[in-house]
Structure 1
Amino acid sequence: MKQLIFFLFSLYCLYPQITGTVIDTETSKPLSGVNITSGELGTASDNEGRFKLIVQPGKEVTFSHIGYSIISTHAFDGMIVKLKASILPGKEIVIRAGLKEESLQRSASSVTVIDALSIKRIDGNHFQDVMESIPNFNAAGGTSRPRYFQIRGIGERSQYFAEGPPNFSVGFVMDDIDLSGIGMAGLLYDLEQIEVFKGPQSTIFGPNALAGLISLRSKEPNQSFTANIRLTGGTDNIQRLNGMVNIPLGETLALRMALESGSGDGFRTNKFLNKTNTNGRNETIVREKLLFVPTENFNTILTFFHAKLDNKYDTWAPDNNEYLFTYTNQQGIDSQETNAFSLRTNLSRKNLNATLIVSQSETDLIHAYDGDWGNDDYWLHPPYNFDPNVTYWNYEFYDRTDRNRKNQTMEGRISYGDVILGYHTKSLEEKDNASGWLYGGDASLAQSKFNFDVSAVFAQMERNISEKIIVLANVRKETNKLKYYGTAIDFDWDVEDYVNLEPVAFEISHNLLGGKLALQYFMRNGINVYGSVSRGYKAGGVNQHPFLVAENRPYDPEFMTNFEIGLRRYTENSTLHFSAFAGKRMDQQVSISSQQTVGDPNSFIFYTANATTGSLSGFELDGTFKLNQTLSISGSLGILNTHVEAFTFESDAGITTTFGNREAAHAPKYTGILAVNYGGENGLFTRVELLGKDKFYFSDSHNEISDLYQLLNGHFGYDFGNWSIKFWGRNILNTRYATRGFYFGLEPIWNEELQDHEYPDKKYVSFGDPVYFGVTVDYNF
């Protein structure tokens, strides 16, 4: 790696360069993504219109951009080029979550960008509404809103108490605030765009990006007064109120405030409690952004973020009924409250740029559920015949975890030309207070505390090395330290009192190295062909069960090497992105859950080990095509093949079970969407989309699978002046599809011959939202 960096730096110094800026003739604003060529050499302007080109002064250089007239002129250092719009200029999509802002068209990464217009077209209110449009992307149910995601078959499916530290394969970031594992707050009102990076991104984003990263970025303040109010009503008692105002505060300050508040009953009917809102949502998000631009070379943006999701949770039923009835007698909770801020400061001076990013957040979560999914009356009837007056105990189990997470991050970057150097620090503390049937029934009350500290340095270099070929190399060296302390108590029937279990204190640290090498070839017809090899990592962790021996408590980091080739082509009427990939997972972390006590549906233990290796391969395709001025089609397709090598674990005392030698969990072989959009000059608009997903395994701990499914969504509406009205529907065909599945012994089936209850293992599933309709009204001031 050192030799590669030295080689690229030498190339950087040897070749002559000219620099300049491209601006719009009418507005004098910089233009990004302008294609700049001289003979066989080429480059593009960045987000501030600046460019560099390896060419001798005096050579002829051509500048072209969709929607602008092409011009040619002689090169000189410091040149300012003005382009004149010839037709309506197309909006250039810019990736903002990486080490530097870059045009999507020129990116050497597999990234899906969903901009504000696409969010509106998909009727996106929450990230879960748009995630189905992302190829090779999946999410696990089991929460009131998705917060555990899988990219290309890699990612967590839960984080129950005692399931391990807050290490995630898929990161989730909103306005530079790290919300990995707590992405329920991903509401989409007033968002600029969503960026989903696929494949290892550890060099840029650290240990939470082995599989990829999700970045949500809201709209920034500007110097124009604007405001919006949006009202939504729908079936299932859906009610939403959104509002936004952007206020200039002089020539150097601007403020943007957004509010999103909504509620719904949750699509379930609890037959025992006779309620329709036991799975309800009540969600509020407030965001304030302050932009300060005292000079053209300096700007800073401060973001305040408050989210309160006072959600209930009641989705499971012993009979897996498709009428969405539940029978619990204790209310489930899945709530989240987050308060956070981020500060991003940029300073530029000619070719030198410096960026400082600071964030801090505190989140309180409650996850509680009725673990038997029933009530005394339900279990009293056949085939259960469970009578507490006969058994002398109630079939009643309830678990609750109160979690507090504090997270601080700081990152600094300095770039000179195409060379970037930076550092990153992170300090995370997560504390749990839990009650119920914990550690497989070995404890009834427990507390845990994780401290996760990360420090890293990174570097990136990008250079033109020959005819239209660009090489990019980056590297990240990271040290992370994890400290764990846990206590627990249990009721001892011999002494008829609570007793303390032996506390657990454990500490691990690792040095990790990740990097990426990419080559790009830019063709004259607007095609970007790229190939890359990257190495990513996921931090190691600690198993929490108090009775484990010391050597079985820690597990090591996981690493992945990924090879990728891709192609992007953008024209005035179409976009196309294709990527093919193959990855190898080393020291793969396998998370196992096992029920320990017959007749106790909550008596699970969790254990993670570096049990095996794995592989993945496939391709992704997405694009749009404009048929005419009013009609367009868009779609995406993901094909995925995964394999987990066989591994063994002790599922019960003295019983060894072998799993693996199959596909990874939550890794469907295909995902896809096809949509038709119409937007007439008379203000009428409509969209119809059909999405599909293949079957997939629910878990690494059993071999139960889901069913494949297709969903139909759509809307139609009318824009008139400052008003817009839209009628929409989701899951219009009312398809039942599973988002999470378990396999264990829950139901106490009465055996007449044995004169006792049996608890046979069975598959249980939780369904996604059924059909629902609504209307949304917008007014722009």
Structure 2
Amino acid sequence: MHHLNRLALALAISAPVAANNTTAVDEELLPVVSVTADFRDIEAFKSSNSITVIDAAAIARRDANHLDQVLNTAPNVNFSAGASRGRFLQVRGIGERSQFKDPLDASVGMIIDGIDYSGIGLAAALLDTKQVEILRGPQGTQFGSSAMAGMVNIQSHDASEEFAGQVRASVGNYNQRSAGAVINGALTDDLMGRVAVQKNTSDGYIDNDFVGDDDTNNIDEILAKTQLKWLASDQLTVRVMAQYVDADNGYNAFSLSNNRDIPTDDPGHDRQTSHALSVSMDWTGHERFELEASAFVESSELEYGFDWDWTNLPADGVRGSENNKRDRDAYGIDLRLLSKPGHNLLGAQWVAGIYASEREVELNYSDSWEDIFWGGPWINTFDSRFRTQRRAAYGQLRWNLSEHLALTSGLRLEKYSNDYRDSAGVDTDQDDNLWGGKLALEYTGIDNTLLFASASRGYKIGGVNGQAVGKVLGDPSTPPNIADFLIQRANFDAETLVNFEAGFKGSYLNNSLRLAVTAFYMDRQDMQANAWVLFPPSEWKSYLDNVDEGHNAGIELESRWLINERVTLFAALGWLDTELGELTVQDVDSGGPMDQSGRDQAHAPQYQFNVGMTVKLVDNMSLTLEADGKDSFYFSNSHNQQSDSHELLHMTLAYQLDQLSLSLWGRNLTDEDYQTRGFYFDNTPPNYDGSNTRTYHQLGEPRVFGVSASYSF
């Protein structure tokens, strides 16, 4: 009941943002934020998309270096760790939570400056970021697969001709250090450039008394971005973005005692080195349409390893670790035409485009273990190669049916093919044709208000059960009925998502109040889920399969209210109700079947909130207080262990003097323990510490605080 009281308190804090106010603001003081949703730049509050924009001010307010430190400001958005950073994203309860041996396609995509980093969240650094756009719901027309549940689009500041720069430094507890610099300006009359670099370090929040270090879960990241903007002519603009990511972080995060003292003898690691380039071109030389062309290439080395017994005590005579090394190479090309005003097709503004991409991932897996009693180290290895190709054509039409009524229709047709080979003998190909799109109706007949209703369809490509099939192929003792069953399920099919939503967005009280409310219902068809099958007499096998009847529904509210020149309130509230489809799993406790049908989906908290206020204390100083809250959620669809609900308090005191900015900041000021990932199983051997638990979880960021300074020129 106390959780409901906390939610009620959050609603009470935010309630004034929707109330009538007689205090008028004579001019628009809330900044206008434009986004790239619906192909054309548009104000966020004039788009029928459900979208949250986290701007540079909000990022600085939390002294955030990574996306996972600001995600809680968006309603119905969650993440899972199981790594040094938040690695996987969930929107409205949909999204992956981990990856082991098998290839994986993301339900929530991530694009940084036109480069598709979907599935490798460690790249989501916020260096020189202008804004983060979080699109909720299927983005089937514009992005296709990898955006079935949503898309995160991170955009850097644009290069300009004005010579300017900034140096920035931050220090905090846990030996946090961050230093960076940005420089921008004209290189010639027509060529502009921008360079940004940053280094982030931290000891992390784990003590390891066995090895005598407090930095076995450390952060050590170097980031760089270079941008060139060429005004080739009055009609042609070319942009080139180059990115470099070098993360050599620790991964010593899970404890048998579920605390921050983890005495493993083999601390893990979470590494990523990425080189990426994007090129975009905008040409307006034709009288009827504009041409937009973009391309990217990305090459990454990913390495993820950990001590799988999380300790140093060989109580059963066995200890060991595993390592996953992936080499990933990808490219994509997107060409589109956009109509100019007055040159409609069938009476509608139009967009038409084609898209092609390819991604290849090679996995080199090894686990090493030592049998203390029987002697000798043992090493198992496994290799795989997965290549996926996608080709798509898409289009969108927008009719102005009347002065205040508009209808938008979008469609995307996509063909994908997967090619998978591994050292266990699994050799499988898969291809399919998919489609997605959107139908949206917008009404603007009420002053400063957009009413909208839409139906959209998204999709996610199928995949392969390489690990499950490889096990039966590599074990001659596997009964033929088990082997045949899993071999027939070497591939699982694509998943589709049908989404219905309606809501309104508005600007009120002389533009001092902005408010957006959306209600949605989502039907998951052929939901990809971890399934289990029981073969007599008692042998269980796990694999990914498609299940029916998954549902997600909810409400989202976002608001910002400038009460007067000194006080601003803001709020983001999300309520979510989810149901699993027809899913049966193994009960870890009894060993028998457990029907999960109708249960809440994993990583889908029923409520989330972010509420806060900024007060201008004096002309050059402001104080921001904000709170995040999240309901408990299931860690997995395959067991019923849950996180705790939690509320986190943050504060920033900012001071501005000409070009110098100073801030004193703190996150999770009450030092609350909360979980970002959880597992449920018998460790090997179980219960080293005698706690008699099978639930293990990773704790989120504790109380952190520090001081930041920047100087602009």
Quote the offset at 1:397 in angstroms. Answer: 2.3
Q: Name the structure 2 match of 1:644.
A: 580
Based on CA coordinates, which of the two structures has the bigger radius of gyration? 1
Deviation at 1:124, TM superposition (A): 2.3
How far apart are 1:117 and its partner, in Å? 2.1
Change (3 A) 1:421 1:312: same
Within-5 A mapping of 1:173-572: 173-321=111-259, 324-349=260-285, 350-376=287-313, 386=315, 394-417=317-340, 418-436=349-367, 444-488=380-424, 503-545=425-467, 546=470, 547=472, 548-549=483-484, 550-571=487-508, 572=511
Could you tell me which amino acid in structure 2 is paired with residue 772 of structure 1?
V
1:590 counterpart = 2:513: no
What does 1:597-616 correspond to in 2, within 5 Å?
607-616=543-552
SS of structure 2 residue aligned to 1:470: strand
- Aligned residue type for 1:143: A
Is the CA contact (8 Å cut-off) linking 1:589 and 1:612 kept in structure 2? no
> Secondary structure in 1 aligned to 2:145?
helix
SS at 1:328's partner residue?
A: coil
Cα shift at 1:99: 2.0
Name the SS for the 1:132 alignment partner.
helix
Unaligned residue ranges in structure 1 (runs of 5+): 1-65, 68-85, 380-385, 489-502, 597-603, 752-756
Shift of 1:478: 0.4
**Aligned mate of 1:704, from 641, 648, 661:** 641
Cα 1:507–1:199 change in 2 (3 A) is: same
Letter of the aligned partner of 1:397 in structure 2?
Answer: G
SS of the residue aligned with 1:372? Answer: coil
Q: Do the aligned partners of 2:62 and 2:666 also contact (CA within 8 Å) in 1?
A: no
Letter in 2 for 1:411: D
**2:632 maps to amino acid:** K
- What's the % identity of the aligned pairs? 30
Q: Normalized against structure 1, the TM-score is what?
A: 0.80
Write out per-residue CA displacement over residues 736-774 of structure 1, whole angstroms, 9 at most, x where no aligned residue. Answer: 0011111100163699xxxxx999761111100111110
Aligned counterparts of 2:279 and 2:78: Cα–Cα separation in 1: 31
Post-superposition offset of 1:89 = 7.0
Tell whether the 8 Å contact from 1:594 to 1:701 is kept in structure 2 after alignment: no
Alignment partner, residue 126 of structure 1:
66
Structure with more relative contact order (C-alpha pairs < 8 Å, separation 6 or more):
2
Residue aligning to 1:773: 705
Q: Would the aligned equivalents of 1:202 and 1:208 in 2 still touch at CA under 8 Å?
A: no
User: TM-score, normalised to structure 2's length?
Assistant: 0.88
Helix, strand or coil for the counterpart of 1:120? helix
Residue type at the aligned position of 1:777: A
Is 1:112 paired with 2:39?
no
Query: Is the 8 Å Cα contact of residues 334 and 368 (structure 1) preserved in structure 2?
Result: yes
- Tell me, yes or no, if the aligned pair for 2:37 and 2:49 is still in contact at 8 Å: no
Q: CA deviation at 1:645?
A: 2.4
Corresponding position of 1:491 = none
- Taking only aligned residues, the RMSD between alpha carbons, in angstroms, comes to 2.6
Q: Report the CA distance shift for 1:301/1:749 in structure 2 as closer, same or farther (over 3 A).
A: closer
Counterpart of 1:160 in structure 2 is 100
Alpha-carbon deviation of 1:518?
Answer: 0.2
Q: Give CA deviations for 1:714-756 in whole Å, capped at 9, x if unaligned.
A: 11021111111111111100000011111100163699xxxxx
Kept in 2, the 8 Å contact 1:635–1:672? The answer is yes
Segment drifting more, 515-524 vs 405-414: 515-524
| CA separation of 1:211 and 1:749: change in aligned 2, threshold 3 A | closer
**2:121, 2:507 → 1: CA distance?**
32
Cα 1:707/1:244, change in 2 over 3 Å: same
1:715 corresponds to 2:652: yes
Task: Give the distance between the partners of 1:678 and 1:297, measured in 2 at CA.
Answer: 45
> How far apart, CA to CA, are the structure 2 residues paired with 1:114 and 1:750?
43
Please give the alpha-carbon distance, in whole angstroms, between the structure 2 residues aligned to 1:282 and 1:127.
16
**Candidates 572, 576, 589, aligned match of 2:515:** 576
Cα 1:593–1:155 change in 2 (3 A) is: farther
Partner of 1:701: helix, strand, or coil?
A: coil
One-letter amino acid matched to 2:442: Q
Decide whether the 8 Å contact of 1:311 with 1:335 is kept in 2: yes
Match of residue 559, structure 2, among 609, 623, 643:
623
Q: Distance in 1 between matches of 2:617 and 2:193?
A: 34
